[in-house]
Amino acid sequence: MKRILVMCFVLLNVLLLGVIFRIGAEERNFPLIRREGVYYMDIDSIRSVLSILSDKLKTEDFEMGKFGPMYFLRFKGTVVSFMEGKSMLSGPDFVRYLSGPIYARNGLLYVPVFDLFDTLQIPYRWHDGKVLLITCTLKKIAVLPDGLEIVYDGEDIFDVRVMGKSVSIKLKAPCMLEKGVYVPSNVKVKMDEEISVEVPSPVKEYNVERARGLLRIHLEFKKLTYRYVVFRVDGRIAKDGKLRKMFKLYGLEPVESVVDPEQTIVVDFHTSSIKTIVYEPEPVELKGISHKNVVISKRIAALMSEKLGYTYEPLFLSSLDQSTVSLAIFAPLEDLEKIVEAMGKCVLEL
């Protein structure tokens, strides 16, 4: 009975875990030992983790070694030393007491790993059972008249995407904000996902400038020829919130009737298994059709055809307002969002 109790005590106090460490965007599995509530990692695994981390941070200031019974470690300007049996880390001008003693097992030295990370000022956090080591710290976020600027320390984890009035920076790895950094009110930051901002006007062109510690997105805004869209689905004005939001993303204001013929596009969507776009032909016989509107009608149809893979053809659209740009689209209902997105992009290209 006594032997069983001893074995249970050992199982409860020494638990070997295979834990995923996400170092920037890279995931690796490392063993942790949980002993009396403290997480330990062996010195070889610690060396591997810090080696990967130093590569991500592009720092050469990393070294591990041993003098007699004393181990030493240097990482980004912090130097610590430690030895078996002790419960502290020491540096040139500090002593840090650990949550548990450093010990040896099966020829490996085990150190309270999160105490070590804290001492080396390595930011980390647990998330969904993984240990996230942060490789990027945001030091500045600024919205400029012609774009966006981010100053950071560490790894470039930014994937820039621009669509209409939306500038989205997808984060390939978790990051953190430096304490005291001001985030503009129109910028949304989701630390493990993206940084986004909606700019006042749709973007025509953009380019991304990258330097060490700097990301700058230069934007050229589109001066829109058309401001309004009348969009009908099977004869009824589309009032779906998501569709209206998508139109606005590209600078088009959904309206129920023609506000200004010179700035309005009228579109009739018809549910159909056929996928085709119908535009106004040249006004040979019909009067009151603006030549400019006819040209734009065909131009949008051609651009949308290219993006959607639909056919396009001319046909007098007597059901639409002949004094403005008119289109009719025949397609399955499930293509509706894709059509609205393609139309928004095409208006930007006019």
pLDDT in tens, 52-101: 999 888 887 899 988 888 999 999 889 999 999 999 999 888 999 999 99
The average confidence (pLDDT) of the chain is 87
Average pLDDT over residues 232-247: 90
The confidence score (pLDDT) of residue 93 equals 87
Q: What is the CA angle 142-178-190, rounded to 5?
A: 70
Q: What are 148's strand-pairing partners?
A: 143, 217
What average pLDDT score do residues 220-233 get?
Answer: 88
pLDDT at 2 > cutoff 60: no
For the stretch 162-215, pLDDT in tens is: 988 999 999 999 888 999 999 999 999 987 789 999 998 889 889 999 998 999
pTM: 0.71
Backbone angles phi, psi at 69, to 5 degrees: -85, -5
Q: What domains appear along the chain, each with residue ranges and CATH number? A: 2-133 (3.30.457.10), 136-221 (2.60.40), 228-349 (no CATH)
Looking at residue 12, its pLDDT comes to 41
Q: Which is nearest to 325 in space by CA: 288, 285, 295?
A: 295
State the pLDDT at residue 58.
82
Q: pLDDT tens for residues 264-281?
A: 898 999 999 999 999 877
Please tell me the predicted confidence (pLDDT) of residue 349: 82
Taking only the tens place, the pLDDT of each residue in 278-337 is: 987 765 545 555 567 778 888 999 999 999 999 998 876 555 555 678 889 999 999 999
Q: Count Cβ atoms below 10 Å from residue 225 Cβ, excluding itself.
A: 13
CA 48 – CA 64 distance, rounded (Å):
11
Strand order in the sheet with 70-75: 62-67, 70-75, 78-83, 88-91, 94-97
Give counts: helices (H), strands (E), the chain.
6, 28
